Structure 1
Amino acid sequence: MKIKLSFLALILFSSSLFAQQTTTEKKENFADDWAALTKYQKENELLGTPKKGENRIIFLGSSIFEFWKQKDPEYFNNRSYIDRGISGQISPQLLIRFRQDVIDLKPKAVIILAGSNDISGNTGHVTNEKIMDNIKSMCELAKLHHIKVILCKYLPINQYPWAKHIEPADKIVDLNNLIEAYARKENFTVLDYWTPLVDDKKGQRQELTTDGVHPNLAGYKIMEKVTEPAIQKSLRNVY
């Protein structure tokens, strides 16, 4: 009897192990989704088109935007503001996502915050000019689809905790100058996140950041104050 029970237990254990292995083997591979299009796919489908008179605004960026709705969700919940930030993304990934996460949602305006992750992962192949190429492509797509463009001057960063060998402060200043010059030329609205957050070392003020890169709630509150007039200006803008 004991032998039969042991044999039965062995069969059950083997079946369970096989089921676990089968489940693992069937796990979907998203390696081809380099830009993480699947992240917001279902949310976009549920969102639908804007209601009549709705001024939908898309926030397109990386972790700065993604963490914003986590730190202060009410800022997005009470408005037609759609946060489409994905942590760690670089400017070509934002460009790939632009159709799904911006154009197809039919917003009145898009706020584009791009460039820092390109700089922080720099292996010598990424330049501010290449970042600008991706930003320009996004802007051209927006204009083609009658979407107002708001270009952000990036937040000040003196050091990346995960890449301390990189000196980003002056690169971000130079990138911001390129962004502002391009925006002025194309009559886009400039949203300056750099000036109200910067300290005397071209980094973020210590009382406004969690790690020198990402704002804390106080930092986001300041960003909200400068974002609102930029949105209103953009909606009035004609080009």
Structure 2
Amino acid sequence: MTRRMLLGCVLMVGVGSAFGQTAPTAAPAPVAAPKPNPDWAQLGRYKDANATLPAHEAGRVVFYGDSITDAWAKDPAVFFPGKPFVGRGISGQTTPQMLVRFRQDVIDLHPEAVVILAGTNDVAGNTGPMTVEQTEENFMSMAELAKVNHIKVVLCSIMPVLDYPWRRGMEPSPKIQAINTWMKAYAKKSGFTYVDYYSAMDDGTGAAKAGLTKDGVHPTAEGYTLMEPLALAGIAAK
């Protein structure tokens, strides 16, 4: 390269820099979109178990909920021995997920009654932030679906929780109490049964009494022993 050609290159670089032109940079690597959950409501969890049940059974009651119901039904020693009761709880679930699977896991089992215990995971935000009103609307939808299918509705209060061990600092007590107050009034207005676990378990501070839960949320055997007669009374109520 001659001196004249080299000088021209230097001048071109200088002019480009003066006008804010820079050398092109490599485009950032594309960010992969999150993979959608193919079974968000976990419809597959009880699909096979549902298929093995007889179409109809006298006295069948479906206990429907989240981890509290899930753990209860997994322990035959404490889950109503000798009763034709069916547990359809799924750990971690919120009311929108439960609403999606309500037909498959409740209506299609043709129970005489459904005992619904849910909402604490809504307050914890397990599937994202939810308002009290959204939780209440999901309860209404499940109750109305049961009613139109001639299934007795038993709505259970959310149990007292002062803090969630998997999501600290949510201060859930005011929301829990608000939902429970609404639920009791809604059940009375609609002709449904309300089971008040909260009052039986509350230590006066918004937390469960000592010995009734393992972690402030999930019942011990002692906690389920306290809940059992309340649930049975709700099922028997006219």
Q: TM-score, normalised by structure 2?
A: 0.82
1:188-239 Cα distance to aligned partner (Å, 9 max, x none) = 0001111111112111112111000001000000000211111100xxx3xx
Q: What is the distance in 1 between the residues matched to 2:206 and 2:168?
A: 15
Q: What is the distance in 1 between the residues matched to 2:88 and 2:197?
A: 18
Q: What is the distance in 1 between the residues matched to 2:74 and 2:151?
A: 26
Which of the numbers 222, 228, 231 marks the counterpart of 1:227? 231
- Corresponding residue SS for 1:208: coil
Which of the numbers 141, 146, 157 marks the counterpart of 1:137? 141
Could you tell me which amino acid in structure 1 is paired with residue 187 of structure 2?
A
Decide whether the 8 Å contact of 1:34 with 1:93 is kept in 2. yes
Corresponding residue for 1:17? Answer: none
Shift of 1:48: 2.2
Instruction: From the CA coordinates, give the structure whose radius of gyration is larger.
Output: 2
**Which is helix-richer, 1 or 2?**
1
1:59-87 Cα distance to aligned partner (Å, 9 max, x none) = 11000100112345453441111000000
Percent identity over paired residues: 44
Q: What is the distance in 1 between the residues matched to 2:112 and 2:127?
A: 36
Q: TM-score, normalised by structure 1?
A: 0.81
- Corresponding residue SS for 1:181: helix
Distance 1:72 1:45, change over 3 A: closer
Q: What is the distance in 2 between the residues matched to 1:93 and 1:56?
A: 23
Equivalent residue runs for 1:114-133 within 5 Å:
114-121=118-125, 125-133=129-137
Which of the numbers 148, 153, 156 marks the counterpart of 1:149? 153
Distance 1:81 1:123, change over 3 A: closer
Q: Give the superposed CA RMSD.
A: 1.8
Equivalent residue runs for 1:91-110 within 5 Å:
91-110=95-114
Q: What is the distance in 2 between the residues matched to 1:122 and 1:167?
A: 15
Structure 2, unmatched stretches of 5+, are: 1-34
Which of the numbers 31, 38, 44 marks the counterpart of 1:38? 44
Corresponding residue for 2:195? Answer: 191
Distance 1:124 1:56, change over 3 A: closer
Q: What is the distance in 2 between the residues matched to 1:225 and 1:76?
A: 10
Q: What is the distance in 2 between the residues matched to 1:114 and 1:176?
A: 11
Corresponding position: 1:211 with 2:215: yes
